[in-house]
Amino acid sequence: MSEFFGHVIDGEEVPSVDGATFDVWNPWEQEVWATAAAGSVEDASRAVASSRRAFDEGPWPRMKRAERAAAIHRLADVMEAHA
């Protein structure tokens, strides 16, 4: 059984609204290794609405510039550690 990757909306991994998926191929082995949710206009609209809500209601717009910069640097450090 292959792994499934959904959309991350409102902090949760969810399937596409219509259930559409596509195969994710390993180019080296020429085999399907996962299935991913295929996004639709409705999925994109849900993601945009979630992002807008998170921005408006979350701490980001009220943080000082230095706090936002520190958060971005922490994210970059985590990404670099996992690269």
Whole-angstrom CA distances from 19 to 6, 35, 68 are 10, 12, 36
Radius of gyration, alpha carbons of the chain: 17
pLDDT tens per residue, range 7-59: 999 999 999 999 999 999 999 999 999 999 999 999 999 999 999 999 999 99
For 7, list phi and psi in degrees, rounded to 5. -80, 145
Q: Where are the domains of the chain?
A: 3-81
pLDDT at 2: 74
**Cβ atoms within 10 Å of 7's Cβ, excluding its own:** 20
Helices (H), the chain: 41-57, 65-81
pTM: 0.71
pLDDT at 1: 54
